[in-house]
Amino acid sequence: MSQLGTNVPLPASPDEAVLEKVPNPHPDALYLARFTVPEFTSLCPVTGQPDFAHLVIDYAPEAWLVESKSLKLYLGSFRNHGAFHEDCTVAIGKRIVETLSPKWLRIAGYWYPRGGMPIDVFWQTGAPPDGLWLPDTGVQPYRGRG
């Protein structure tokens, strides 16, 4: 691990970010790990305006866990990255899968309105394993002020 316990600047882009893993102390157990990111930001690739999302990342680890500081830096690297909501959400899920090879992963991206319309993006690696406790993401659909 090159980032944990050191002063690391925010990566300039998702491609430059280093996503690190640590050994899972319970690779024989079927369990869910959840990261909730209520203040995710990226940029609209057309206008350059900021976009905001509430992300929920659930995964069932196998041999590896994602190191949380590296995940925080990776997600923060999207702040100056221009991409559509769908691209950001799916790319994050795929990058975590590429790094960890988990038993299963899903990511839910609840994006705040752009052009008056919220866009929610959901991606998963397949059906969840039998017996995995899978709680609701806990994020309500966007309702505006009403």
**Residue pLDDT, tens place only, 94-129:** 999 999 999 999 999 999 998 888 999 999 999 999
**Residue 59 belongs to a domain:** yes
Q: Please write the tens of the pLDDT for every residue from 30-77.
A: 999 999 999 999 999 999 999 999 999 999 999 999 999 999 999 999
Does 1 have pLDDT greater than 70?
Answer: no
Tell the residue number behind the tokens 């203040």, with chain if given.
39
User: What is the average per-residue pLDDT within 3-8?
Assistant: 77
**Residue 12 belongs to a domain:** no
Does 5 have pLDDT greater than 80?
Answer: no
Tell the residue number behind the tokens 């975590």, with chain if given.
96
> Which amino acid type is present at position 57?
I
In sequence order, the β-bridge partners of residue 110 are 54, 120
**Residue 77 belongs to a domain:** yes
**Residue 141 belongs to a domain:** no
Tell the residue number behind the tokens 């866009």, with chain if given.
119
The domain in which residue 50 lies consists of 28-124
Give the number of C-alpha atoms closer than 13 A to the C-alpha of residue 9, restricted to the C-beta side.
Answer: 4
Distance CA 23, CA 67 (A): 9
Residues with a catalytic annotation lie at 44, 51
- Give the number of domains in the chain: 1
Domain harbouring 84, CATH code: 3.30.1130.10
